């Protein structure tokens, strides 16, 4: 596992030094997401539950006038539900989603070993969301895969509950 430091002013991959990422807490977990996927951070917004969605979907909120699904990152990764301190608006193939997270730690250059060969992280449904594992001091850090592809069932449930076509 490798360490990471402060981020430079640009986004994306840094040659030989990892990726620029937003580091945040998700329940008991420390996570990172590539900065170029993050639109903005905000306080949690009013969220309405959606029937028929996976347990990791908190519901739907209105983000800048658009009905937006809210994903509980802690629950998505198997850590159970956690108190949402912040929402992260994130780009996906079909529009923005809001990630319910804990504390925002900051922007860092993240270096993480790919999880593909790690026997403890193989086979779990939630672990396919993890691109790599690194550290922040003595604490493990999960670098998340791109969240650009949100399952169709989430968009369908959001559309039904907002009155828009899926």
The domain that contains 125 carries what CATH number? 2.40.50.180
Q: Is the separation of the CB atoms in 22 and 110 below 8 Å?
A: no
| Phi then psi dihedrals of residue 159, to 5 deg | -65, -45
Distance separating alpha carbons of residues 95 and 139, to the nearest angstrom: 33
Q: Quick check: is 8 in a domain? A: no
The whole-chain average pLDDT of the chain stands at 78
Against a cut of 0.75, is the pTM above it? Answer: yes
Range of the domain at 73: 13-162
- State pLDDT tens for residues 30-43: 999 999 999 999 99
Q: Is residue 149 in a domain?
A: yes
Total tally of structural domains belonging to the chain: 1
Residue 3 lies in a domain: no
What is the model's pLDDT at position 106? 96
The answer to whether residue 1 is domain-embedded is no
The Cβ of residue 84 has, within 10 Å, a number of other Cβ atoms equal to 21
CA distance 60 to 50: 7
Any domain includes 5 = no
In a domain, 86, yes or no: yes
The answer to whether residues 121 and 90 touch, using CB atoms and an 8 Å cutoff, is: no
Give the percent of the chain with pLDDT over 70: 69
Mean pLDDT of 79-89: 90
Indicate whether 145 belongs to any domain. Answer: yes
Q: Read off the pLDDT band of 53 (50, 70, 90).
A: confident
């Amino acid at each position: 596992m490798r360490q990471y430091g402060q981020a430079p002013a640009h986004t994306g991959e840094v040659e030989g030094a990892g990726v620029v990422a937003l580091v945040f807490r998700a329940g008991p977990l420390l996570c990172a997401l590539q900065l170029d996927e993050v639109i903005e951070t905000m306080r949690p917004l009013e969220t309405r539950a959606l029937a028929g969605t996976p347990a990791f979907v908190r519901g739907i909120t209105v983000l800048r006038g658009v009905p937006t699904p809210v994903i509980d990152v802690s629950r998505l990764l198997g850590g159970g539900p956690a108190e949402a301190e912040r929402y992260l608006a994130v780009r996906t193939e079909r529009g923005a989603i809001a990630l319910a997270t804990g504390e925002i730690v900051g922007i860092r250059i993240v270096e993480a070993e790919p999880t593909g060969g790690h026997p403890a992280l193989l086979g779990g449904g939630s672990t396919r969301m993890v691109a790599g594992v690194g550290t922040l001091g003595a604490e493990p850090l999960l670098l998340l895969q791109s969240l650009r592809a949100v399952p169709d069932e989430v968009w369908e449930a959001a559309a039904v509950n907002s009155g828009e076509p899926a």
